[in-house]
Structure 1
Amino acid sequence: MKKTILIFLSFAVIISCKDKVQETPKKVVQHQTEVQSDKKSTDPERNSAEETTEDFKILLPKEYRDQGKENEVNELTNNWLDLYQKNRKYYVGKADYTVARGYSECSGDSTRIINSKNNTILLIGNSRLATGEVKTVKIEKNKIWPKEKLKFHFGNEGYTLRAEGKVLSSEKVQTDNGEELYQNVKDYKLYLSADNSPETLFLQEESFNDTFVELLFIGDIDRDGKPDFIFGANRDYEEERVILYLSSQAKKGKLIQKAAEVAIQFDC
């Protein structure tokens, strides 16, 4: 009887050890899968031209709706900076503003309104930027239609903005600056190249609703000796959207990278 019990216990121990050995590889495989997943999420090849950095935030001196959530204006602090124009020159300085409460009859939302004391181009939420006068480029043309180019020099290097896209229709329209060409464009792409660097695709839009991309600013905001850009890129006529591109944020092999964007809706 004792011999039978011992044989049974030995058999049970062998089965138990065998089960543990079989479980161990499962845990290892699961761990390896998680590591590979994390690696993919940080792979630079997956980053597109539309991804932004997390170091910058931007706002315009405009009215912002609450829309049932925390208002964007609440992100303003005393550390925010102001890119502004004064006497035909551009400067980065400490933001000087007031915030008022309002109400939108159109949407029925409460609002917060930023009133800047400067001729503000952009409010920038990054205190590491150096203050002072900003070297800029005079903009000769603010709209770059498909198959068009805009060339300019910054420092000792030449740059080219080149556009691609499909033009669906063209017409002459009256603006505050007189008669201008307007084209209905889809699949729009905008590239930047330099004398010693290949092209960078940095802006693309599938379609526009009575709007188009507008070049607002070229200058060295981040003080690295290379041009930075601000574009208006409204996708709809009831939206005001502005995008900041900085050369110092560019990844390897690129000239610029989107640093931040702000989009204000004023539809009813």
Structure 2
Amino acid sequence: MKIAILGCGWLGLPLAEHLIDQGFQVNGSTTSEEKLALLQQKGIQSFLIEVTEEKITGDFEGFLEQVEILIIDIPPGLRKNPNGNFTKKIDQILQKMEERSLKVIFVSSTSVYGDHQGEVDETIPAEPETTSGKQLLASEQLLQQSENLQVTVIRFAGLFDENRHPVKFLSGRENVKQKYHFVHLIHKCDCIGIITSIIEKDKFPFLLNAVYPYNPNRGNYYTEKALQQNLPVPIFQEESPGKKGKHIISINISYLNYSFQKDLFS
């Protein structure tokens, strides 16, 4: 089986390597000419492709040739470009796939749930409040409405690994808010494991909240994590313990029979 990964970045590149190890053929895209050789060295059939709001540059036809599953893993990029329109980029991709019958995995985010209070699983309607959350939800819906595609949406919690972790951003800060809110994170290894499980179990179409199932409060967790990494601890504002915000869980993870590989202190 051939799989195409649109966006071989922080998650997409190790995902491609893992899928190759599992016996899949992988096409991978990058926007950087310098990265093409790296992808090739790792056994990935590499393509220089850039998706903008107006067009797609590069050999997108070749990228999708004989592909059965397309994984879309391109970030909205609204921090760098607040006026950007990510949904238009997804529409450009859809226009290129109009005549194709494909299975699609769309990498989304739990940010689509906004500031919903209480327990949030896949049956709860998404009500995003941020621009990126709204555009991600619109992109999910755009893909799901396509008659030719079988679309699986994975709403990932905050991604981390040994080198990238939100505690580094919070370390040493004062008056940090949301002390008693739940922590929603997932290790990169489990992101890769869950995507692989969806492919192997042929879960299309499907919707999944991908979040580590143990969710301590922010005050306790980030203090302990900072100490673990020998970083200055963040100082949280005193708030009512009743202010816990949303608690994201997954009921659909049971259909994958997936066992998490990394905990929050990995």
Q: Higher strand proportion, which one? A: 1
**Normalization by structure 1: what TM-score?**
0.25
**Normalization by structure 2: what TM-score?**
0.25
Q: Higher helix proportion, which one? A: 2
**Of the two, which has the highest radius of gyration?**
1
Structure with the greater relative contact order (CA < 8 A, sep ≥ 6): 1 or 2?
2
